[in-house]
Structure 1
Amino acid sequence: MARPRSFDEKQVLNAVRDQFWDAGYAATSLEDLMRVSGLGKGSLYAAFGDKRQLFLRALHGYTEEIHAELREVLADAPRALDALRALLEPPIDASPGADAGAVTRRGCLMANSAYELGNADPEVLAHAHRTYEKSTALIGDCVARAQREGDLPAGADPVALARALLAAQQGLVFMSRTGLDAEALTATARSLAARLLPDQGQAGSG
């Protein structure tokens, strides 16, 4: 009879995910994975496979969480336009202990991984494509809702606008990693929102 696992699988995967997120795939060693997981090599590989399999498990878990959060944010807003504008809020670190106005430097794990591994690992590239297509579909549904609510032009293509919003949001995340200060990042986010999601009342008043 196999011995029951004496560790929390989700906790281990989260720790491993954070290691890959902070250091990247290539720079993460087996020793790093053993250290953050608290597991020996035998236990780690017996439970999750080799380094690549462990990375893919962590990456898939990350994207599932991102889509669950995105679905919740888009659905919970009283008006769809508010949810879409929230996508373009600057990625400012509001965690306890962070400096006031600190900008998040970590970026998006999926984007980081696609940049690092996309040319060499077709599975990572395919997962990135599926991830962004699903994100586009969720945002596109929200755009269509905003159109039904009269807050966006009815003739606009929801998918095209969704792709533009996703590209803008990912661009803001990337710019936050380059050292752009919080004030400039906020101004950029507001400029993008004004162009992509203009206030229909103001647009019609001119």
Structure 2
Amino acid sequence: MARPVGFDREQVLADATKVFWAHGYFDTSVSKLVDATRLQPGSLYAAFESKEGLFLAALDHYAGQSLARLRKILGDAPDPLQGVRRFLEEMAEADPEAAVRGCFLVNTVLEVGRRNAAVQARLRQHLTVIEHELAEALNEARAAGLLAPRKSPGELAKFLMATIWGVRVLGSTGAGADDARTVLGMALSVLDA
């Protein structure tokens, strides 16, 4: 009979995500994870199999929260186009500390990139889901006459994703909110009819 899990998995993932986000994958030691999660190494390995397994679970945890936030913003907006605009505008409103910390997914792309196929595949999966959500919202906006028929929702979503990545990297350099607003304002202008 398997032993029941004796810890709060969501809390462990939240704690591990903070450590990986602050230090990156390569500079995060198992001892840092043990300190943050208050689990012994054996328990971490039993639950996640490896540091990489815990990292992938942390990426899933973060991406799930990001997707839920995007869906809430889109769902709360009076129309899909305003939802997309609001999602991007919120990035410019991030506090300076959050902007410098950057996006965990984008930071991981920059740090790990092609060095780990499993991480790369997981990143692509999560980023594709976010892009798809944006494309769906833009498709709904076009169907409602809020977006010009000549504009491709899929292409716009790819463009907006690239802009998001750029703004996240820009923020991690210490650039201010004014710079983020300028870039995002230019990106949002492509949505105008």
TM above 0.5, yes or no, is yes
How many Å separate the matches in 1 of 2:157 and 2:97?
A: 28
Superposed, 1:175-190 pairs within 5 Å as: 175-190=170-185
Per-residue CA shift, 1:126-147, capped at 9, x if unaligned?
Answer: 1222222222211111111111
2:101 match: 106
| Deviation at residue 3 of structure 1 after TM alignment | 4.4
Give the equivalent residue in structure 2 for 1:150. 145
Counterpart contact for 2:73–2:87, Cα < 8 Å: no
Aligned to 2:191: 197
Gaps of 5+ in 1: 95-100, 201-206
Residues 136 and 18 of structure 1, relative CA distance in 2, 3 Å threshold: same
Instruction: Provide the C-alpha distance between the structure 1 equivalents of 2:97 and 2:41, rounded to a whole number of angstroms.
Output: 37
* Overall identity of the aligned pairs, in %: 33
- 1:65 is matched by which residue type in structure 2? Q
Letter aligned with residue 147 of structure 1:
R
1:80 match: 80
How far apart, in 2, do the equivalents of 1:112 and 1:184 lie? Answer: 19
User: CA 1:67–1:45 in structure 2 vs 1: closer, same or farther (change >3 Å)?
Assistant: same
**Deviation digits for residues 96-125 of structure 1, max 9, x if unmatched?**
xxxxx6662121211211222222111111
CA distance in 2, matches of 1:2, 1:144: 47
1:41-67 residue CA offsets vs partner (Å, 9 max, x unmatched): 122222222211111111122222222
Partner of 1:69: 69
Identify, as 1 or 2, the structure richer in helix: 2
Number of paired residues? 192
In structure 2, the CA distance between the partners of 1:102 and 1:34, relative to structure 1 (3 Å rule), is closer
Matched position secondary structure for 2:100: coil
Q: Letter of the aligned partner of 2:63 in structure 1?
A: T
Q: Residues 3 and 136 (structure 1 numbering): CA distance in 2 closer, same or farther, change over 3 Å?
A: closer
TM-score by length of 2: 0.90
Deviation at 1:92, TM superposition (A): 3.3
Residue 141 (1) aligns with residue 142 (2): no
Please give the TM-score of this superposition, normalised by the length of structure 1: 0.85
Aligned to 1:203: none
Q: Counterpart of 2:146 in 1: which secondary structure?
A: coil
Q: How far is the alpha carbon of 1:71 from its aligned partner? A: 2.3
Conserved 8 A contact 2:105-2:123? yes
- Bigger-Rg structure (1/2): 1
1:93 corresponds to which residue?
A: 94
Provide the rounded CA distance (Å) in 1 between the counterparts of 2:48 and 2:101. Answer: 25
* Aligned equivalents of 1:14, 1:38: Cα separation in 2: 12
Q: Deviations over 1:140-190 (max 9, x none)?
A: 111111112222101211100111111112211111111111223223322
Match of 1:27 in 2: 27
Q: 1:123 aligns with which of 112, 118, 121?
A: 118
Q: Which amino acid aligns with 1:138?
A: E
The equivalent residue for 1:36 is: 36
- SS where residue 150 of structure 2 aligns? coil
